[in-house]
Structure 1
Amino acid sequence: MNIEQARFNMIEQQIRPWEVLDSDVLELLAVVKREQFVTAPYRNLAFADFDIPLPHGEHMLSPKIEARILQELAVRKHESVLEIGTGSGYMAALLGARAQQVLSVELDPEIAAFAQQNLLANAVSNVELAVGDAARGWPANAPYDVIVVSGGLPVLPQTLLEQLKVGGRMSAFVGDAPVMKAQIATRLNETEFRIVDLFETYVTPLRNALQPQRFTF
């Protein structure tokens, strides 16, 4: 397998056609080595349009979704980021390359250890990992400039929105199977938020995510 050719094909054949045209994002995807963040049995599929499995039923997001979210959030060098759902650590590494500081919270200790190993191996120094349940936010370090929810949410918790700074942005995958909406929420002021739908997809829901009220008969 020609790794660099596979990486080039991922960028040109998957990611550009998904309206990811930001040259900084495309360059970053060429630099941060995705194959070094996947589990060993799936290394040859690191660049495929595929949700690569992680332990305990979790998955990495596909490359085109990661790239599109990164582009839409437009993270800047002075900003602080909260990521909810560390997974393999790859998205945290991408965010770390653009932000001042990233705090990534993972519920599963085994997955968090795998991510920590990957980040250390790739010399990512501005990402801090925490083990815990951040499905409704992580108030200890709030407010944040950017929040990235790397798992599905049946509903968007108000508590999570309120952990954004004014002008801050949050990405989330909201809804139920079979289709969720990828959304960007921007805090306009102390009480108002703008939510934009980007595309439809399905992402494994976060464990312990807030559930909507459902009617029972």
Structure 2
Amino acid sequence: MMTNLFSVFDPTSSLLTNWVSLISGLIIIPLSFWLVPSRSNVIWNGILKKLDQEFSMLLGPSKMGAPLLLISLFVFIFYNNFLGLFPYIFTATSHLAVSLGLALPLWLSFMLFSWIKETTHALAHLVPLGTPPALMPFMVLIELVSNMIRPITLSVRLAANMIAGHLLLTLLGNQGSGANFITLPLILISQILLLILEFSVAIIQSYVFATLTTLYASE
């Protein structure tokens, strides 16, 4: 039995899988063993090509192998968000240890590359174009703070959105045991609608995480 409402986000309280859900999504990726690709392969390859075009457009001409990394990031987050919708499977992306572990190394690599290889452009980026001279010191501080909190905002946004939807599903699910014949259909309909909304959130949040990472890299 659940000890408290937030124990659903404790990896030690999951009955079937906890941190195993991080890599269990790899078995869902469609593989091609035939000369003629299946419908799932066609859909999957279409999604990957669309993401590659999107990230390549955001990164610009000097993209190198970055779109492949960002597509892998999107797929990894999406599968973990999606697997968390199944009962008794721990949602790894709702844990800050995972979301911050994804955001911090990427942000740190971008910062180190920009300050080591492009020091002049990195310094110029701290002062927006057209800033009055009197406001330049304050703008430098603001830009530094905004750059420093980027991995925190990325990770907290992902974890908070996953937690919020799962909490609503848990709260509604706990009401089902004491419901009567009138309120039970309403609870079931609400649960189905929330589940559809959570599936949309799983896609949107993975796309937002990958897109913001792409924008930070392009800067």
TM-score range, shorter chain: under 0.3
Structure (1/2) with the larger strand percentage: 1
TM-score normalised to the size of structure 2?
A: 0.22
Higher helix share: 2
